Amino acid sequence: MARTSLLIVYLGTTLPLLFFSPSEARGLGVTYGRVGNDLPDPASVVKLLKENGITMVRIYDTNSTVLKALANTGIKVLVMLDNDDLAAAATSPLYALRWVRCNVAAYYPATLIDGVAVGNEVFMWRPDLTQQLVPAMINVQLALANLGLADAVKVSTPVAFTALKDTFPPSSARFRDDIAQSVMKPMFEFLWRTGSYLSMNPYPFFAYAEDPQNIPLNYALGNYKPGVLDKNTGLVYHSLLDAMMDATYYAIENLTEQYLNIRHPIGSGANQYVTTTWTEGVGGWSSRGVVKQRKPPKGGRNLCQCQPATVANAKAYNNYVINRVLSGNTGTPHRPDADIDTYIFALFNENEKGDGPDDAERYFGLFYPNGTKVYDFDFHPSWCVADAAVEEALLQGALDYACSHGADCGAIQPGGECFEPNTRVAHASYAFNSYYQHNHRAPGTCDFDGAAYVVYQAPRSMALTRLLVVLLGTTLPVLFFFSPAEAGEVGVSYGRVANDLPDPASVVKLLQRHGITMVRLYDANSTVLKALANTGIKVTVMLDNDDLAAAAASRLHALRWARRNVAAHSPATLINGVEVGNEVFEWRPELTPQLVPAMINVQLALAKLGLADAVKVSTPIAFTALKDTFPPSAARFRDDIAQSVMKPMLQFLQRTGSYLSMNPYPFFAYAEDPQNIKLEYALGHYKPGVLDWNTGLVYHSLLDAMMDATYYAMENLTEHLNIIRQPMGSGSLNNGRPGARWSETGWSKRGIIRPGRPRKGRRNLEAGAGFQPATVANAKAYNNHVIDRVVSGNTGTPHRPDADMDVYIFALFDENEKGDGPDDAERYFGLFYPNETKGYDFDFHPSWCVANAAVGEDRLQKALDYACGNGADCGAIQPGGKCFEPNTRVAHASYAFNSFYQRNHRAPGTCDFGGAAYVVHQAPKYGNCVLPWKALIDGRPAKSEGYAAM
Residues with active-site annotation: 583, 744
Q: How far apart are CA 834 and CA 513, in angstroms?
A: 16
C-alpha of 892 from chain center: 28
- Give residues with Cβ within 8 angstroms of 287, minimum separation 6: 309, 310, 311, 313, 314, 315, 349, 363, 364, 365, 374, 375
Q: Are 662 and 625 in contact (CB under 8 A)?
A: yes
Based on the number of CB atoms within 10 Å of its own CB, is 881 exposed (0-12), middle (13-18) or buried (19 or more)?
Answer: middle
Rounded to 5, what percent of the chain is helix, strand, coil? 35, 15, 50
C-alpha of 26 from chain center: 9
The closest of 553, 652, 649, 570 to 609, measured between CA atoms, is: 570
Q: Are 598 and 557 in contact (CB under 8 A)?
A: no
Phi, psi angles (nearest 5°) of residue 557: -60, -45
DSSP 210-251: H-TTTS-HHHHHT--SS-EE-TTT--EES-HHHHHHHHHHHH
Q: Are 150 and 116 in contact (CB under 8 A)?
A: no
Helices (H), 620-734: 639-641, 647-656, 666-672, 679-683, 702-721
Amino acid at site 86:
L
SS3 799: coil
Q: How far apart are CA 426 and CA 732, in angstroms?
A: 7
Q: How far apart are CA 474 and CA 813, in angstroms?
A: 16
Cis peptide before 336 (omega within 30 of 0): no
Based on the number of CB atoms within 10 Å of its own CB, is 631 exposed (0-12), middle (13-18) or buried (19 or more)?
Answer: buried
Q: How far apart are CA 864 and CA 892, in angstroms?
A: 8
Return the DSSP state at 20: S
- DSSP E strands, 509-563: 518-520, 538-543
Q: Are 379 and 65 in contact (CB under 8 A)?
A: no
Q: How far apart are CA 508 and CA 574, in angstroms?
A: 13
- ∠ CA(134), CA(137), CA(141), 5° rounding? 140
Largest CA distance in the chain: 89
Q: How far apart are the first and last CA of the chain?
A: 40
Angle, helix 133-146 to helix 83-91, in steps of 10 degrees = 70
Question: Quick one: which H or E segment has residue 789?
Answer: helix 776-792
Phi, psi angles (nearest 5°) of residue 699: -110, 125
